[in-house]
Amino acid sequence: MESTQTGAYAALKAAWKGVVKISLMLAVTYLVANWFISSLPAADYRSLFGLSNRNAIWIVAQLHLMFGAFVLGVPIFAYITEIIGVATKEKRYDGLAREFTKLLAMAYTLTAVLGCLLLLLLVVLYPKLTGYLSGLFKPTWLFYIVLIFGEVIVATLYWVTWDRLQGSLKKWHLLLGLLVNLWGTAILFTADIWVTFMMSPGGIDEMNNLTSLWGAINNHTWLPINIHRLIANVAFGGAIVAAYAAVRFLNAKTDAERAQYDWMGYIGSFIAIAAFIPLPFAGYWLGREIYQFSEQMGVSMMGGSFAWLWILQAMLIGLLFFAANFYLWLGMGRIPGAERYTKFQVGLMLILTLGFMIWATPRSIIASGMEMAAMGGSHHPFLGLFGVMAAKNTAVNMMILTTFISFMIYRRGNRIPVVPWATKGNIAQALTIAAATAIVVFYGFYSYFVPSITRIGFSIYQVGAVLAAMALFVAIDIPLLKGAKEIGPIQWGKIAPRSQYALFFLAISFTWLMGLMGYIRSGIRQYWHIYGRIADDSANAFTPTHGHATLMVSAITIVFFLLVSAVFAMAARYKDSEETAQ
Amino acid sequence: MTGTFIKIFFFMLATVSLYTYVGQLVPQFEEHPPKKQVITPETPTSELVGIGQDLLHGKGGCLVCHMDADGGNNRGPDLRQAAAAANKHKPDMSAEAYLMESLLHPDDFLVPGYPRMMPAANKPPANLTPAEVKAVVAYMQTLGGMEPTVKVTMEDAAASKKVGAPVHLGRALLDEHGCTGCHKVAGEGGEVGPDLAVVASKREPADILKKLDDPTSWTTPGYPAGMMTKEMTQGISEGDRQEMVAYLAVSAGKEYSAAGTLSPWSHEGVRLGLVILVFNLGLLLALAVARRNEKKGEAA
């Protein structure tokens, strides 16, 4: 890895090395793909070495996507931290952003290798479909290659000029950071074109010939998936960085190291959870667009073949909320004065538990014939009331509000407001939360008495109330805590080691959840390559059992973490050697 | 370090195992694509009804919203009742016509109390062919306690071959490479050469590929030899030739796949490689200039 105190020549050399690396990878992919194509007989589908072509694509695509999320999420995260460092003039934020960015170098290589492997597999195993898609979207994949080279150059320059572009030159470094993120976002949006077209095709005629490239790009699900993935990448990047900090914390030999990595883990988890909170709202939008594109697809997703996987998703998200709150409550142990708020933890825990139970309640209960006869159908006479969206929307909004309150309590753990309007401010904040709770609960109950089409609209009021309450609360909180009396400084590093396992849990669960959601998103096409247009005629066109799907997701998660461990190990080794050199 | 790693690894295994375990607890089923069924005018009515039932349960996706004797959902009307009342809604329409039209134009035949949410049966995602729509109507007639009256015609069977034909870029490529300047394709184009639809119906795909490779290899009777020259075809990449031939073959009702010789990996790949090479060399040049400037700076 290049030093970050380099001159123009060395910076350019580092960027050139990255370009050569990508060029060689593309060349090798092209040659190997051509070799396969010329040596294998023509076919619509192929398999290699007796392996299932679908499983091969599934594993490699998901791993590529996870690393892609990592290398796109971490720079957003690093950039936000760098800006905070500039704004607060606290050097440690700059150091933190620098350390995050360092994690990227090897992750970029792994992402590119997996991307090339995916391309190779698509061309060799699904030649006809790949041929159709690449022909249809030729301008976009050429643009994609340009973006990849641009990202390599800008990201390398961002890293190698870190120490050189300080002080009055910092603005240039911030500009580079902005470019890295704009480029990264453009890469994400471009890759989403192909994926979303397969889900909700547009811009083609009845014979599937292209009529409008923009129509094909701007299909029903493109924009909501862009936004959903962008937010999810930040959450994912934050969770992975927090996991890295947790490893370093557990291996720390000095108090100073422990303090540094405790703080890093906190910042990572904070950004992860902050990004995680609006994610369900982006999900609602995506869901609505799916329904608008095809009612059948929406129904298959939510009420048909994939309905049970949402129960699994609810369990995962519920556990993520638990882990996030658990980490915050443990973290309050190192904040002098935070014990004032311990009394709220039981109440918050109860709301979370209740929310979790409601959200994980299935609409139809798995029951024997006798049990079903006793219940009078597959829906339990009482529990069935909690298995519907009216209850679930209410539960998830309450869980989001609860987690937000935990954050706000944590934030003011060691601070006492001294502004003259402190009491009024506190009352206004409490009223804000109470009003949001009232709106969420009211519409939750009311939803039971209106048709489904009206009920869907209510979720917007619930979401709006929660978002507005959070925004208003923070708007009051910032001036309220200005110049607040500090009971004592946060004792960074003095947190129970088990808290670090909460950070691992967040990272593992985020990753697994990404795998599951990726499967649902892709799986709802069922036996179609391109939904409603081009059918999958291969032997693997069937939708696998949920058990098989979860096994695949678990296997992918394990491989991902083994690869990420290698990235962490290299980053840690580099950091240690850098410190030794200093 | 190793100890911590092992602990974390086992923690990860425990977490993913929990999720995997829950994944095994929920109902397990595989969903297979609908069977491909061949419907001809000779298909017996009883078989047609069976095919219609399969289509309604499978490819048509009707039970996502409707219900029949085997189950389903109540987002849409119960098909048994809807079918039984088919001859009562519009006095001037037979039950068959009513059912047919309500499948093809569902918004015009909305049952009161239900929203507009059903896609036409012959459009995505169901994409039923004309013969398949008739099979579904036959089944629905039996659901409503009637005798099936639908008759599959030769036109229905022929149209079914075209609907859902494989995807080919060939139509656009025939325009792009100027073929339609002299030949008619799908009723459009010049008349200097023979109609390519006729050619494709009489010749094998391999013959057309040969003609593109060597235009003197054969000539359609009734047309003068030598009109089509090698210069006209030599610029067409192998991938594009395959696509064009595949389009023509499929349009003529023949099975042909262009897979394995697709254009993005023929000429475009090489061209793109050259651009990337030039880009690399440009960067190398910039690097050399930067190095020289740095040395100059050091010397100064």
pLDDT at residue B71 in the model: 76
The type of residue at B132 is E
Q: Which residues of B touch A497 (CB under 8 A)?
A: none
Residue for token digits 């529990």? A383
Closest Cβ–Cβ partner in A209, A526, A534 for B172: A209
Among chain B residues, the shortest Cα distance to A13 is held by: B287
Higher pLDDT, A367 or B89: B89
pLDDT tens readout for residues A60-70: 999 999 999 99
**pLDDT at residue A285 tops 70:** yes
Determine contact: B287 vs chain A, CB below 8 A. yes
Residue of A nearest to B1 (CA): A251
- Tell me the residues of chain B between 39 and 98 that have a Cβ less than 8 Å away from chain A: 61, 64-65, 73, 75
Chain B residues with CB-CB distance to A501 below 8 A: 11
What is the per-residue pLDDT across B59-94, written as a single tens digit (0 to 9) for each? 888 887 888 887 777 778 888 888 888 888 777 888
| Percentage of chain A modeled with pLDDT above 90 | 53
Q: How many CB pairs under 8 A join A and B?
A: 217
Q: Taking CB atoms and an 8 Å cutoff, what residues of chain A touch B16?
A: 508, 512, 554, 557-558
- Measured CA to CA, the distance from residue B33 to residue A542 in angstroms comes to 6
Cβ neighbours of residue A27 under 8 Å, at least 6 residues apart?
B273, B276
Residues on chain A touching B291 (C-beta within 8 angstroms): 9
Alpha carbon A292 to its chain centroid, in Å, reads 24
Are A210 and B172 in contact (CB < 8 Å)? yes
pLDDT by residue (tens digit) across A1-46? Answer: 455 556 778 888 888 999 999 999 999 998 898 888 777 776 778 8
Q: Which of B1, B28, B259 sits opposite A545 (nearest CB)?
A: B28
Averaged pLDDT, B8-15: 94
Residue B253 contacts A, CB cutoff 8 Å: no
* Contact at CB, A132 and B284, closer than 8 angstroms: no
Distance in Å, alpha carbon of A476 to nearest chain B alpha carbon: 39
Indicate yes or no: CB of A8 within 8 angstroms of CB of B73.
Answer: no
Nearest CA in chain B to A18: B280
Torsion sign over Cα B207, B209, B215, B216: negative
Q: Place B262 in a pLDDT band, splitting at 50, 70 and 90.
A: very low
Per DSSP, chain B holds a count of helices (H) and strands (E) of: 12, 4
CA of A428, closest CA in chain B: separation in Å?
41
pLDDT band with cut points at 50, 70 and 90 for residue A575: low
Contact indicator for A241, A571 with CB cutoff of 8 Å: no
* pLDDT for res A211: 87
Tens-place pLDDT, residues B203-261: 888 888 889 988 989 999 888 888 898 888 887 876 678 778 878 887 787 766 554 44
Q: Which residue has the higher pLDDT, A232 or A456?
A: A232
Q: Report how far residue A447's alpha carbon sits from residue A84's, in angstroms, rounded to the nearest whole number.
A: 42
Among B24, B33, B259, the residue with its CB nearest the CB of A542 is: B33
Contacts of B29 in chain A (CB under 8 A): 305, 545
CA distance B180 to chain A (A): 17
Give the pLDDT of residue B164.
Answer: 45
Within 8 A by CB and 6+ apart from A33, the residues are A119, A120, A123, A124, B265
How many degrees, rounded to 5, is the angle at CA B1 between CA A579 and CA B4? Answer: 135
CA distance A223 to A10: 39
For A452, name the nearest residue in chain B, comparing CA atoms only: B75
pLDDT band at A368; cut points 50, 70, 90: low
Best mutation target among B175, B240, B255, B283 (most A Cβ atoms within 10 Å) is B283
- Calpha distance B107→B120 (Å, rounded): 8
In order, the DSSP letters of A142-201 are HHHHHHHHHHHHHHHHHHHTTTTS-GGGHHHHHHHHHHHHHHHHHHHHHHHHHHHHHHS-
**Amino acid at residue number B49:** V
CB contact under 8 A, A296 and B119: yes
- Give the separation between CA B291 and CA B300, rounded to whole angstroms: 14
Residues contacting A178, CB < 8 A, separation 6+:
A79
Pick the residue with more confidence: B2 or A306? A306
Which chain A positions have a beta carbon within 8 Å of B172's beta carbon?
209-210
- Whole-prediction pTM value? 0.82
Judged by CB atoms closer than 8 Å, whether chains meet at B12 and A558 is answered as: yes
Contact B117 A9 (CB under 8 A): no
